[in-house]
């Protein structure tokens, strides 16, 4: 907790500035036709995301927090994500790119004035600058969405970044034992945690074993070459229908070339890197691989215990490495790189049990459905989480290379449909503990 109002303002302003810098980079690296085009029916035009970011900021920070008069009330419905499915958004009366840029800049100027004048205490919406943190996280989440659109976009590369460091040291085994017992899941203390991460509660889990690293491209290729996409016995019925209907034979963006595989990554075609975590696989593909390997996907609670629980203290950390904010030595976050690091990297970011890359690199599918925690309360609006509970959504944990640290922590929960492949998702596997572990 930060108790100095000026430090809170600095933290909020820094988070907002970082998000806007990234948004500008993602929307100024291509020309106007690419901004207004819909590169996939699964995604919005980039210019819709840009103005939606500004509209959410106007509604929550200018109006709800600052009490200011609406700047562009006539566009609220245009940029309402629940009112218009993504496939329909190109037909809406969207702001043109230049107008959208001017709009978000004008909103931000007024929001910074609101931040300067708002007492960051008392009201739950502004306590610990929560609303400002929520809006910064929202913008970063849309920045990741826009990065997905860039990956789906055809044409030459528009983005560049250095490769991540290979810090794998070969000292970790394939799996670790997580002992049976209670741990604290979720949080009631993290100031900018969102409603679905709350409240903290105790969970009792039996002992289990979990991979120390995400599943690699090399390991996933063994599944492919062993006929994994040709045998229904490994697949959930809905997943097998997806494989048959779409003639799937590998992760999205892969294709055979000669005796090997190549992939398309942000406009560049390159050989699949065997040492990197597998990427762009659906929940069904992750589940099928786990079955083929004689294992299973970890539950959400298992994933979080492996990531946060310290057996020495019994305390659940904010992050696998401790309570301090992520640094570049801990995890591959924030679009510093445009790919995951080799499996086994980031030893300084490992959990107390020795599990690596739980934060960053790839979102990790878990077995669990997206459900509320005991004592859940929607805040500040039901549409963020509550409307998705109990549906077909599966939970992903840990974040990817495309996630900013402000929108990623040990308690952060993401969710998506089990068919989704365009997201930056991979997985690791788990198994029940055996008699030898008693």
pLDDT values of the chain reduced to their tens digit, one per residue, 438 residues: 777 889 999 999 999 999 999 999 999 999 999 999 999 999 999 999 999 999 999 999 999 999 999 999 999 999 999 999 999 999 999 999 999 999 999 999 999 999 999 999 889 999 999 999 999 999 999 999 999 999 999 999 999 999 999 999 989 999 999 999 999 999 999 999 999 999 999 999 999 999 999 999 999 999 999 999 999 999 999 999 999 999 999 999 999 999 899 999 999 999 999 999 999 999 999 999 999 999 999 999 999 999 999 999 999 999 999 999 999 999 999 999 999 999 999 999 999 999 999 999 999 999 999 999 999 999 999 999 999 999 899 999 999 999 999 999 999 999 999 999 999 999 999 999 998 887
pLDDT attached to residue 241:
98
Q: How does DSSP classify residue 342? A: P
CA 95 to each of CA 31, 50, 109, 140, 256: distance values in angstroms, whole numbers, following the listed order? 15, 10, 19, 21, 41
- CB-based contacts of 390, cutoff 8 Å, min separation 6: 369, 371
Beta strands in 129-237, from DSSP E residues, in sequence order = 175-178, 181-185, 201-205, 208-211
Phi, psi for 170 (deg, rounded to 5): 70, 15
Q: Residue holding tokens 């589940």?
A: 287
Rg value, the chain, Cα: 22
* SS3 state of residue 325: coil
Residue length of the chain: 438
Q: Is 367 helix (H, G, I), strand (E, B) or coil?
A: strand
Strands 413-416 and 394-397: what pairing?
antiparallel
For the purposes of burial, counting CB atoms within 10 Å of the CB of 380, is it exposed (0-12), middle (13-18) or buried (19 or more)?
Answer: middle
Interatomic CA distance for residues 140 and 126, integer angstroms = 20
| CA nearest neighbour of 131 among 68, 51, 59, 197 | 59
Contact call for residues 227 and 254 (beta carbons, < 8 A): no
- Count the Cβ atoms, other than its own, within 10 Å of residue 237: 9
pLDDT at 84: 94
Strand partners, 426: 364
Helix and strand numbers, DSSP H then E, in the chain:
9, 12
Nearest-angstrom CA–CA distance, 348 and 325: 13
pTM over the 0.95 mark: yes
Q: How far is CA 223 from the centre of its chain?
A: 25
Place of tokens 């394939």: 174
Distance from the first to the final alpha carbon of the chain? 40
Return the pLDDT at 393.
Answer: 98
Contact 401, 338 (CB under 8 A): yes
pLDDT of residue 4: 85
**Cα–Cα distance measured from residue 259 to residue 321, given in angstroms and rounded to the nearest whole number:** 40
Q: What are phi and psi of 407, to 5 degrees?
A: -115, 30
């Amino acid at each position: 907790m930060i108790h100095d109002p000026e430090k809170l303002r600095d933290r909020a302003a820094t988070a907002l500035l970082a998000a806007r810098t990234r948004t500008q980079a993602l929307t100024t690296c291509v020309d106007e036709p690419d901004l207004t085009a819909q590169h996939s029916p699964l995604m919005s035009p980039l210019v819709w995301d840009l103005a939606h970011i500004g509209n959410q900021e106007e509604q929550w920070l200018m109006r709800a927090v600052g009490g200011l008069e609406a700047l562009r009330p006539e566009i609220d419905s245009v940029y309402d994500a629940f009112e218009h499915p993504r496939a329909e958004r190109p037909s809406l009366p969207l702001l043109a790119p230049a107008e959208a840029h001017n709009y978000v800049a004008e909103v931000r100027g007024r929001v910074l004035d609101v931040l300067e004048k708002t007492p960051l205490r008392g009201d739950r919406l502004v306590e610990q600058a929560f609303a400002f943190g929520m809006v910064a996280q929202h913008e970063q989440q849309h920045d990741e969405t826009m990065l997905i659109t860039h990956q789906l976009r055809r044409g030459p590369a528009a983005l560049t970044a250095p490769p991540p460091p290979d810090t794998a040291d070969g000292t970790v085994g394939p799996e670790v034992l997580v002992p049976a017992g209670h741990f604290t899941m979720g949080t009631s203390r993290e100031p900018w945690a969102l409603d679905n991460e709350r409240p903290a509660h105790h969970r009792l889990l039996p002992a289990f074993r979990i991979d120390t690293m995400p599943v690699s491209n090399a390991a996933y290729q063994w599944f492919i070459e062993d006929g994994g996409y040709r045998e229904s016995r490994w697949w959930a019925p809905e997943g097998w229908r997806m494989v048959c209907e779409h003639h799937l034979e590998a992760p999205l963006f892969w294709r055979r070339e000669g005796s090997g595989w190549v992939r398309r990554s942000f406009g560049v075609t390159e050989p699949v890197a065997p040492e990197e975590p597998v990427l762009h696989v659906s929940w069904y593909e992750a589940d099928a691989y786990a079955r083929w390997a004689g294992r299973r996907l970890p539950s959400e609670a298992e994933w979080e215990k492996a990531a946060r629980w310290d057996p020495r203290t019994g305390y659940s950390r904010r992050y696998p490495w401790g309570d301090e904010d992520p640094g570049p030595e801990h995890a591959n976050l924030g679009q510093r790189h445009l790919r995951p690091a080799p499996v086994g990297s980031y030893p300084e970011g490992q959990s107390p049990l020795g599990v690596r890359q739980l934060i960053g690199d790839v979102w990790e599918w878990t077995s669990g459905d997206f459900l509320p925690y005991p004592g859940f309360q929607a805040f500040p609006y039901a549409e963020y989480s509550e409307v998705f509970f109990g549906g077909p959504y599966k939970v992903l944990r840990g974040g990817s290379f495309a996630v900013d640290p402000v929108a990623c922590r040990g308690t952060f929960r993401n969710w998506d449909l089990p068919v989704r492949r365009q997201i930056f998702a991979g997985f690791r596997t788990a198994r029940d503990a055996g008699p030898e572990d008693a």
